Amino acid sequence: GQQLNQSPQSMFIQEGEDVSMNCTSSSIFNTWLWYKQDPGEGPVLLIALYKAGELTSNGRLTAQFGITRKDSFLNISASIPSDVGIYFCAGQLQAGGGADGLTFGKGTHLIIQP
Amino acid sequence: KAGVTQTPRYLIKTRGQQVTLSCSPISGHRSVSWYQQTPGQGLQFLFEYFSETQRNKGNFPGRFSGRQFSNSRSEMNVSTLELGDSALYLCASSLFITAGGYTFGSGTRLTVV
């Protein structure tokens, strides 16, 4: 089946630093989603991307849908303590009026040192 | 506006038993999906329901089943539980199947002993 390679697996950064993580796929998607999950909670949608080349921002977060439709990245600027958590990318392939379920990356664990 | 509600939050079952988990989607959302999250395999798609019909199914054995009711609420059932079924089971809802922006519940933590 489809696989998403998400990197890095974990990041240890200082508060105020910028963060960058990415996902690559062996096959194309026509939707890319980025989620954040806190302990004991379900993933929360951060950014949704629907078109190849699309660049979308949500506050300090910026994500892009790769031109090849096989990759996406997420940047977080000026990190703050509440950014700690696990970030997941997810891809979805839609065709013929239907859609596959989401395929998730294994996550990037963000740890911020004060 | 209430979010996606999953019950129960925690569950402990014995091998061989069966279990039913419940999910109430956001009001107005007609698509409900289920995912299994484990440390080893990560988040994996189980199935998706829309208008009481299963529209998509992931690569899980037939012991995993689900259904959706006319009010869009959904249940998933796991029969003949195995130790490996221990996981966080997440439900997500969206307006339509192709909406992409799924909203997840907090999950049901199932432990099989």
Tens of pLDDT, residue by residue over A42-73, are 999 999 999 999 999 999 999 999 999 999 99
CB contact under 8 A, B106 and A45: no
**d(C-alpha A82, C-alpha A101), whole Å:** 29
Query: Which residue type occupies A105?
Result: G
Q: What is the pLDDT of residues A3-24, one digit of tens each?
A: 799 999 999 999 999 999 999 9
- The one-letter code for the residue type at B52 is E
pLDDT range class, residue A101, cuts 50, 70, 90: confident
Task: Indicate the DSSP class of residue A10.
Answer: E
Contacts of B97 in chain A (CB under 8 A): 98-99
Distance of residue B98 Cα from the nearest chain A Cα, in angstroms:
6
Q: Left (φ > 0), alpha (ψ -120 to 50) or beta: where does B58 sit?
A: beta
Q: Which residues of A touch B42 (CB under 8 A)?
A: 104-107
Closest to B21 in 3D by CA, of B113, B92, B109? B109
Nearest to B35 by CA among B17, B13, B56, B8: B56
Cα B31–Cα A44–Cα B41 angle in degrees, nearest 5: 85
CA proximity to B83, closest of B41, B40, B44, B112:
B112
